[in-house]
Chain A
């Protein structure tokens, strides 16, 4: 991260750009009938989504690095050394979590400086940081599985637009209640919508254990699936290498 700021800077730049633009462009949208939070600013509404967006964009880094290690044969050297095999996966997952925490901290601080209001104060901010970091690890685990399967940085990077799609077809930037037709129906059943809505509850309504547990629960479920697939792919790669 210190040596290659170009690898993480865009994942901070784009959420901040979107937050700055949308909070000006759609500031009057809170006046629309059926808008779920008519008493808050649009910046407050999109804050959790922007943090999640930044963290998800950054979640590709850990998997890209792993794919790079496979491409340049560093992984082979690692496997020929007496390194604990699970630690290869655990280290990458931990890296995704820490990286997510770093990004979330910076983003929340910048939003706070620019006037965002976290209704729950410090507990809500800490909850938001924990949930988004866990989400970074959860989504990162799927990408790590792809990196282990393909060993190609290009393939891992090509999945980036998919993250973009998941974010936009959700309640990230606009409430699902105001979406129409099939688009609204898909957004309603997108797991990311549930994570964002429960996290938004924490930052807009104030901290509540119910919202926190629900958000952590769904993210943990995603992580369990992702890590299981990643373990399977690691086993296959180890079997192929031996």
Chain B
């Protein structure tokens, strides 16, 4: 019992150390965080401004574009934050520090969890920044109240977690910081091929079918529901299921790819 407790305690401390290391890097290199904060803020301002009139079309359920676009910008920011753990690992692989980590008595799952934990902590910053800009300067509303805000943070944390696992997998395969570009392309594509910017009712053609089956659409709906009305279990449940499946799937993917670092 004591042994098991000690191993668990050790794993927790190692995971915590990884999160702490990432946060320290953020403090030392604030320029790393700048795009992660600035881009989602720009997204909410640009998309709310550019597409201000589209909410008059069927299916948006709000008369303010900012209510529709805030959730989209929050999740974009969270997805960008998910690159954080991958970026840190790619740098470690390139400068050889990752080899030293692998020779240390660390459970790979703890290492991965620590890196994802760092990405999750990063995601809270752009999420809060986007909410401040949306509510203080763009006139966003939250009829869903406190529960609506909770849904926003849960979705952002989930998005950062599975994007982080996914990016780690890519980095383990290519072992280069340049591979982040591939992750970004996949990330952008999956986000755009969803109900991020328009509801299913407004989308026509092939994209309608793709957005309907895209699991990220469910996460976006869960995140957005508080901006459009009351928070309901009917909207939350599919989002939670999609999010947990994505986290589980990408975690397995990252763990499998971890073995490729040696090859």
Chain A positions within 8 Å of B, measured between CB atoms, are: 6, 10, 13-14, 17-18, 20-21, 23-29, 31-32, 161, 164-165, 168-169, 173-174, 178-181, 183-184, 187
Establish whether residues B49 and A21, one from each chain, have CB atoms under 8 Å apart when the complex forms: no
Chain B binding site: helix, strand, loop or mixed by DSSP? helix
Establish whether residues A173 and B197, one from each chain, have CB atoms under 8 Å apart when the complex forms: no
Does residue B203 face the partner (Cβ distance < 8 Å to A)?
yes
Residues of A within 8 A of B185 (CB): 10, 13
Establish whether residues A21 and B193, one from each chain, have CB atoms under 8 Å apart when the complex forms: yes
Establish whether residues B53 and A21, one from each chain, have CB atoms under 8 Å apart when the complex forms: no
Establish whether residues A178 and B53, one from each chain, have CB atoms under 8 Å apart when the complex forms: yes
Task: List 25 A-B pairs, Cβ < 8 Å.
Answer: A10-B181, A10-B185, A13-B185, A17-B192, A20-B207, A21-B193, A21-B207, A24-B203, A25-B202, A26-B51, A26-B54, A26-B198, A28-B204, A29-B53, A32-B57, A161-B35, A168-B42, A168-B50, A169-B49, A173-B50, A173-B51, A174-B50, A178-B52, A179-B50, A183-B49
Residues of A within 8 A of B135 (CB): none
Q: How far apart sit A16 and B147, CA to CA, in the bound complex (Å)?
A: 38
Residues of A within 8 A of B46 (CB): 165, 168-169
| Minimum C-beta distance from B29 to chain A (A) | 13
Residues of B within 8 A of A184 (CB): 49, 52
The A/B interface has a contact count, at CB < 8 Å, of: 85
Q: How far apart sit A14 and B54, CA to CA, in the bound complex (Å)?
A: 22
| Minimum C-beta distance from B232 to chain A (A) | 25
Residues of B within 8 A of A25 (CB): 197-198, 202-203, 207
| Minimum C-beta distance from A52 to chain B (A) | 15
Chain A binding site: helix, strand, loop or mixed by DSSP? helix
| Minimum C-beta distance from A115 to chain B (A) | 11
Q: How far apart sit A168 and B42, CA to CA, in the bound complex (Å)?
A: 9
Residues of A within 8 A of B241 (CB): none
Q: How far apart sit A168 and B73, CA to CA, in the bound complex (Å)?
A: 15
| Minimum C-beta distance from A100 to chain B (A) | 22
Q: How far apart sit A202 and B189, CA to CA, in the bound complex (Å)?
A: 30
Does residue B168 face the partner (Cβ distance < 8 Å to A)?
no
Contacts A17-B189, A165-B42 given; indicate if A187 touches B53 (C-beta within 8 A).
no
Q: How far apart sit A180 and B38, CA to CA, in the bound complex (Å)?
A: 22
Q: How far apart sit A165 and B45, CA to CA, in the bound complex (Å)?
A: 10
Q: Residue on B with the closest CB to A22?
A: B197
Known: A24-B203, A25-B198, A187-B49. 10 other contacts (CB 8 A): A24-B205, A26-B54, A29-B57, A165-B42, A168-B42, A169-B49, A169-B50, A174-B54, A179-B52, A180-B49
| Minimum C-beta distance from B50 to chain A (A) | 5
Q: How far apart sit A164 and B205, CA to CA, in the bound complex (Å)?
A: 27
Q: How far apart sit A25 and B195, CA to CA, in the bound complex (Å)?
A: 9
